[in-house]
Structure 1
Amino acid sequence: MRTSSIELPSADEIRAIIGEESPRLAVHRNYLATRPWLFAELSHVAAQAGIDAAVFEQYQAWDFDKVVDALHVFVSECSAYLAQHVDNIKAEQLYEPLKAGNTPKQSDVIFVFGSAKNMRIAKAVELYHSGVASKIMVTGAAPRWATSQGENNITEAQRMADYAITHGVPTDDVIIEDQAISIPDNVKRSIDLWEAMQWYPQRITLVTSEFNVRRAEMNIYEFTPWPVEIFTASPEPSSMLRADTWIATERGRRLILNEYAKLIIESAIDHLLATKGKI
């Protein structure tokens, strides 16, 4: 099992994760198919480096283990190549497809993805007080790979809820989902909760890290069984994970390249579970 966010999970670990997640299935599975340009710059870099990027086009036709293995190799080789070819302009071009989103507008809920730190919930509280939405949804226990759930064993969702309440958000305006163990599970378990509440938010502002926006948006789109309009917001990235700086460190390269890999992995999972019932 992984011990760090910069590691991609193995196929077996992914199966174990899925076994612990909400069983909800994706209802829309065409997010990547309708956005082929998402991988254009990455494919261009791979071609320059002589790295096999076939997995990004052929993943739905491949065995799941083959997909995951190919992505492990791709991330490793591409990270090594970028380490030797640090180019800030290229870095920005690779970063841009992951962060692109829609500026927050009036919404039914501000949806905050789990995090071990408070930057995301601080951004959500700022949006709440500016009138973007009258509800904040906080979600997440902790990533499955984490060895603990944070300080005093408090879930990420509860810690974020406490932060929001101490910063002026009424308790009744904070909705807590504290079981999720992954980004797809954040979404699935939140929708499970909304349906139990008989509440169907149609305008949702997502709050997550800049480089994580694309995957967050994909999951909300794919799992929500009613029409939704999605907006996005992010806290200021750390100095080492900005669009022009991530390429300079192994951690930065792995995190950004992993996001591309996880888009493929999660899309493959959704397709296989919906069509075959297993991966």
Structure 2
Amino acid sequence: MGAPDLELAIDWAASEGWNPGLGDLNAFLAADPEGFLAGVLNGEPVTSISAVRYGESYGFIGFYICRKSLRGKGYGLATWTRAIQHLEGRTIGLDGVIDQQDNYRKSGFQLAHRNIRMGGLATADTPMDPRLSPLGLGIFASVRDYDRSFFPDDRTEFLKVWCAPNAATRRGFVFMEDGKLMGYGVIRQCQEGFKIGPLFADTPEVADSLFRALAGQVKGQTVYLDIPEPNQHAQDLAQRYDLSAEFETARMYKGPAPSLPLDRTYGITTFELG
């Protein structure tokens, strides 16, 4: 898929209630321009899937959709098989909706942990804290290096677009203390409301400050935070700001599961690309 095809897949994702971001397309294509596949029937796209490659060892599957009127005919499975082939030799991750998890297990995927989408009205004010600053070009190298421990392989090209300063539909903040980066986060406008992701932080206090900085940008509007269920501090943060559970996914891996710092992961970047 090129950009026009991926726009269609994003529209399909919106119709499924997945609520993609308005400015996601360019960041997604930057991650892997060859990582978005479509199944075509009689000249019309009928299925979509992302099989995005990161570095040399990791891949992530998302956007797995078949047009509702054509489900149950094997078209989705054919697209799925092609995506798995595209990522052969890599550990593959995905965030599976509940009704597909048994099918993923049949393909060799194993449960790592649950993720929960939390949502509600943004009530926090951006704190007046000199340790907080907007995510700009001058800090990008530090953000890239900090991000690396939270993801199984390199995703520099994706981050360049995801964290771009002054983007129309997103904002980012970093938390620096004594010259050390201790966390960062991004908020972006979506089909409905705003999603915060990623939200990575060394301590619960840093995560709280970053959350308030991000949510404060859209006070009075709906915000969403996709938290890994094992992180109790992330659950506490969501409850503290009156966010409630909306749905869940299962993070599953085919191949050796990476060891990631879930205790410092307060918001997953995106269910579509990991």
Relative to its length, the structure with more helix (as a share) is 1
TM class, shorter-chain normalised? under 0.3
Q: TM-score, normalised by structure 2?
A: 0.26
Relative to its length, the structure with more strand (as a share) is 2
